[in-house]
Chains A and B, each alone.
Chain A
Amino acid sequence: MGCRVEDSLLEEYLDGMLDPLETLLLEEHVRICPECQVKLEQLKEVYGILASGQEEYPPELDRLHLEVLKDLQPSGGFGMKEWASLGRTIGEMSTRYLDFVPGCRKGQKLVRSLAHRAPGAMAGAVLQLAGRRSLWPSW
């Protein structure tokens, strides 16, 4: 009764944070102090429960990083595919007005077919079309 040894010292003992001399002195004290013996036993039980049990891991955990990676991909890692798609869109848009020019469907078709065959060449095709005025008025 009335033991002055603090719980925190017993915890440090269990955590292995005391130096050898302190450890020795505390062990000697606990041997003759029933109050500390009880406290130490209780603490050991708390430590045991805190460390008890084995984790169960959900199967999704193993695939979670793949989903994160997918989300983190610069959704537009702007690669060849994206450049090709952009080229196609620009080509199509830049010749859209030809739909309204009588007799120019041919030119439009040419651009579109080029876009699908070789998207990278779109810029060249558009320039070529723009330069070849003779293609335009086929009437």
Chain B
Amino acid sequence: MTADEGIRKEWKKNRQAGFTLLCETYGRTVYSICYRYTGSREDALDLVQETYIRLYSSFDRIRPDLPIRPWLCRISANVCLNFLRDRKNTVPLQEDSMGAGGQEAFRQLDDWILLDRCLGQLPPDMRMALILRHRQDLTCREIAEAMELPEGTVKTLLHRGRKRLREMLMKSGEMEA
């Protein structure tokens, strides 16, 4: 029995037990998306909570023949995108991390922080597309469904996002021009 089948079976028997299993199985995926998107642990936990509430209320609507993960990513992505829309698209991450003064410190950071900083400077849609593609391994089609965008737009977002990341890395000296 796959994890998804187990969750569905448990949900039918007892919603609370099914929900617990769902969160135990996919909680880290949800957190990962939220954290990569917001760059803040506290905001990410708030968004995970919001996502959980939506998962609970809409679990009955997911088609039984579809895998749970893309649907879960979709809900999580929506919650994240709404979160920043509500904040009028302000980016809580390190806005000026590429400033001249910050460059020296920037070089000393490892890839992990580097990724945070780079992602934080991208527009929300672009950031979410990159997170879903590279951190969650979703296909372009799944990302398109998750973000409710045409597939072509997702490809463009990914392409532009990678291009901008490359430029940032060059600017910061992490990559040779």
Please report A residues at the B interface, Cβ cutoff 8 Å.
Answer: 7-8, 11, 42-43, 45-53, 55, 57-58, 60-62, 64-69, 71-72
Contact = CB atoms under 8 A, between A and B. Distances in A.
Q: Give the one of A47, A50, A69 with max B CB within 10 A.
A: A50
Interface stretch (B3-11, B19-27, B72-80, B90-98): B19-27
Contacts of B165: 46, 49-50
A55 B29 CA distance: 10
Given A45-B169, A49-B169, A50-B130, A55 B28 contact: yes
Contact of A11 (B31, B52, B114, B162): B162
Contacts of B12: none
B135 A65 contact: no
Nearest to B29: A55
B171 interface: no
Looking at chain B, what size class is its interface with the partner chain? 35 or more
Contacts of B112: 52-53
17 contacts: A11-B159, A42-B166, A43-B166, A46-B165, A50-B115, A50-B135, A50-B162, A52-B115, A53-B112, A58-B31, A61-B28, A61-B31, A61-B45, A66-B20, A68-B23, A69-B19, A69-B56
A49 to B, nearest CB: 5
Contacts of B166: 42-43, 46
B65 interface: no
Q: Tell me the dominant secondary structure on chain B's binding face.
A: helix
Contacts of B135: 50-51
Contacts of A67: 49
B20 A64 contact: no
B41 interface: yes
Contacts of A51: 134-135
Given A11-B158, A43-B166, A69-B16, A58 B45 contact: yes
Nearest to B164: A46
A65 B45 contact: no
Interface in B119-139: 130, 134-135
